[in-house]
Homo-oligomer: A and B are copies of this chain.
């Protein structure tokens, strides 16, 4: 039989609003805008060569994910995360993820095992910093890091829980990027390796405990000695 299927989409053939959404989302996550920066529809529309409607749709979606704030009749802006907000996200992850990891370790099939191995391998051989002692993780490492943590949980087989992880991770990454002292340069390599080992050994208790510690230590490293400049919103 030949290709009764839809043609494998030529990349330029999806909706404009989708492309603009992805670009906007990535730009915010990449840190192209500073917290508090206004996201002006007209400006964005001109830059990207599209109409206001598509930019507006993209902005509404971005707001829905917590990657932008909106004030009625006053426009959109990049959110300014307070230190407090970051701690709340970290606490939420500590509260949710260990339990999900337990389920994942108990349920994951052989395909999941393979993906965990691959994700850890990729993470282990990705240099955390672009060069030398930069204070920013490399984009490649950040992505590998995300994929590793997500893959660990994917064995749970529950898309609702994974979506929860996605939202918390996204919010946490954005908050971390703009937190007081950026990345601490902490070496989590050993922790990741032990996490992988416990997961593949099907030791749910150990894996959950390791993840709790991993999240706690990461949060502590980012919090300790953080000389935060301004907690713009006391919320």
Contact = CB atoms under 8 A, between A and B. Distances in A.
A56 interface: yes
A158 B167 CA distance: 15
A158 B64 contact: no
A18, A61, A89, A160 interface centre (most CB from chain B within 10 Å)? A160
A92 B161 contact: yes
B64 A160 contact: no
B60 A14 contact: no
Interface in A137-160: 158-160
Interface string A86-101: 0011011001100110
A211 to B, nearest CB: 14
A15 interface: yes
A88 to B, nearest CB: 5
Contact of A161 (B57, B60, B95): B95
A53 B168 CA distance: 30
Contacts of A160: 88-89, 91-92, 168, 171
Interface string A184-196: 0000000000000
A48 interface: no
Contacts of A65: 64
A37 B89 CA distance: 36
A164 B60 contact: no
Interface of A: 14-15, 18, 53, 56-57, 60-61, 64-65, 72-73, 88-89, 91-92, 95-96, 99-100, 103, 158-161, 164, 167-168, 171, 235
9 contacts: A53-B53, A57-B60, A64-B64, A92-B164, A95-B100, A95-B103, A95-B158, A96-B96, A99-B99
